[in-house]
């Protein structure tokens, strides 16, 4: 049975995931306003992915007979100084999310909740990918001037996310 302590922690994580979706959507809006549609598309895809993560926790609580309690989501920043600054924030944010997932996993272990541990294993693996992707983008952006043709090539490449 799902403990109250774990249920509350998962509800907090739903809020965190929805904030992530909102944050990346705000970053996408900034990129749209800066004529960088490729970066905007990448961030919109990321926003959708974070929404789906929140729903994965939502469904898990419902499937386990828990109670979803939605919480207020904070307003994310609306403007950024640079594309590099955006992706440095993405990396920092993903590292914070990793910490939250790890704490949830520790709690699931303490509560001996094996289904939660299985779910959280998926998220642990996902966070390795999230941090890798953000780190790679930050490192690439550090190699190019903030304005200019190379940034536009990276923007074009970022816009291919989700295409097959």
DSSP state of 148: S
**CATH for 109:** 1.20.1260.10
* Residue 77 lies inside a defined structural domain of this protein: yes
* Residue 121 lies inside a defined structural domain of this protein: yes
Environment class of 112 (CB within 10 Å of its CB; exposed 0-12, middle 13-18, buried 19+) = exposed
Report how many domains make up the chain: 1
- Taking only the tens place, the pLDDT of each residue in 90-113 is 999 999 999 999 999 999 999 999
Q: What pTM was computed for the model?
A: 0.92
DSSP state of 145: -
* Residue 164 lies inside a defined structural domain of this protein: no
Q: Which domain holds residue 13?
A: 4-158
Q: Which of the residue ranges 22-36, 44-58, 146-160 would you say has the lowest mean pLDDT?
A: 146-160
* Residue 163 lies inside a defined structural domain of this protein: no
- Taking only the tens place, the pLDDT of each residue in 125-155 is 999 999 999 999 999 999 887 666 677 777 7
């Amino acid at each position: 049975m799902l403990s109250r302590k774990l249920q509350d922690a998962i509800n907090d994580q739903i809020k965190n995931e929805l904030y992530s979706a909102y944050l990346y959507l705000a970053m996408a809006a900034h990129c749209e306003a800066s004529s960088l549609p490729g970066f905007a598309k990448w961030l919109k895809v990321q926003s959708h992915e974070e929404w789906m993560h929140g729903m994965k926790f939502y469904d898990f609580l419902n499937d386990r007979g828990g109670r979803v309690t939605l919480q207020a989501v904070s307003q994310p920043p609306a403007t950024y100084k640079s594309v590099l600054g955006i992706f440095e924030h993405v990396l920092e944010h993903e590292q914070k999310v990793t910490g939250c997932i790890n704490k949830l996993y520790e709690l699931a272990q303490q509560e001996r909740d094996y289904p939660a541990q299985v779910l959280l294993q998926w998220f642990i693996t996902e966070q390795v990918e999230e941090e890798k992707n953000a780190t790679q983008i930050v490192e690439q952006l550090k190699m190019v001037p903030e304005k200019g043709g190379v940034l536009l090539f990276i923007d074009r490449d970022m816009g291919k996310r989700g295409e097959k």
